[in-house]
Amino acid sequence: MAKPGAALSKAKVQTIANAVMAQCDGLDGLKDNVIGRPDLCTFNLSALKCTGAESDSCLTPAQLESARTMYEPTSVAGGRYTWPGFPFGGETVEPARMQAWGGSGPTLLGGDFMKYFVAQSASADPLQIDPAQYTSRLDYLVGLIDAVDPDLSQFRAHGGKLLLWHGMTDWLITPHNTTHYYDKVVASAGGQSAADQFVEYYQRPGWITASTASVSDKALTRSIWSGPCSTGSKRA
Ligand SMILES: [Ca+2]
């Protein structure tokens, strides 16, 4: 976003979304405008590279780089902090999500987090903040905010059961983080069969987050522990 010409217009985001949908919708066995298996979607963004004059239906090299940063893993501060990117699909599910791509500056959680949490300055430009200069502050915030400890042995010993679910078109908090956490929990628990005794993870294609969660969570919770579930696909 800080590079001239690298920001993606809403029309270009729509171009990406259309191409991703065309290639990956059917990978789940049903063409229904829902990408049910984003893990199988290996869309090649380079296919959208402009070969002639720039238009809304293609991406310049700078815009391609911008788009890749949304999907591919990223690390900063010499690899100290990593971010896994977003799955393909859902690029246009909400106008607010498109702002994250098409605006001239970071929106949603990103910009204000960097200003107020990291730099602790209302006048800081979030695009100019170098995470490498704030490692002690970021380490503190990681301990304060992130829930990344996969050792749930005490929770399990107390009879706890954990239900995880994530909408696979959540463009605010990447579903990859939940997937990675679940994989770590499985390993920490001693393997899949051991983990299955107290933790379930459902990936919900075509879903975003928040507002519709409360009702569906209750239905999902009931169905997981008492019978068949039809509101999500179980991972593993
Ligand atoms: Ca589909």
- What's the distance, Cα to Cα, between the start and end of the chain in Å? 37
Closest Cα to residue 74, out of 110, 21, 121?
A: 110
190 HSE (CA, 13 A, CB side)? 7
Decide if 205 contacts 27 (C-beta within 8 A): no
Where along the chain do its domains lie?
Answer: 1-102, 106-146, 153-234
The rounded distance, in Å, linking the Cα atoms of 37 and 83 is 21
DSSP class of residue 74? E
How many angstroms is it from 206 CA to the middle of ligand 1?
Answer: 9
Chain mean position to CA 100: 13
Q: What confidence score (pLDDT) does residue 127 get? A: 84
CA distances from 195 to 170, 183, 233, 236 (A): 25, 10, 17, 10
How many angstroms is it from 13 CA to the middle of ligand 1?
Answer: 20
Whether residue 101 is predicted with pLDDT greater than 80 in this model: the reply is no
Q: What confidence score (pLDDT) does residue 231 get? A: 42
Give the H/E segment covering residue 60.
none
Which pLDDT band holds residue 226 (cuts at 50, 70, 90)? very low
How many angstroms is it from 133 CA to the middle of ligand 1?
Answer: 44
How many angstroms is it from 45 CA to the middle of ligand 1?
Answer: 20
In the three-class reduction of DSSP (H, G, I as helix; E, B as strand; rest coil), residue 164 is classed as strand
How many angstroms is it from 124 CA to the middle of ligand 1?
Answer: 43
Whether residue 98 is predicted with pLDDT greater than 90 in this model: the reply is no
How many angstroms is it from 68 CA to the middle of ligand 1?
Answer: 23
Backbone angles phi, psi at 18, to 5 degrees: -65, -40
- pTM metric for this prediction: 0.79
Closest Cα to residue 99, out of 162, 18, 159, 13?
A: 13
How many angstroms is it from 24 CA to the middle of ligand 1?
Answer: 7
Whether residue 67 is predicted with pLDDT greater than 50 in this model: the reply is yes
Q: Summarize pLDDT for 141-168 with one digit per residue, the tens.
A: 999 998 889 999 999 999 999 999 888 8
Closest Cα to residue 70, out of 25, 46, 101, 38?
A: 101
For β-strands 162-167 and 199-204, DSSP reports them as: parallel
Q: Summarize pLDDT for 19-63 with one digit per residue, the tens.
A: 999 999 999 999 998 888 998 999 999 999 999 999 999 999 999
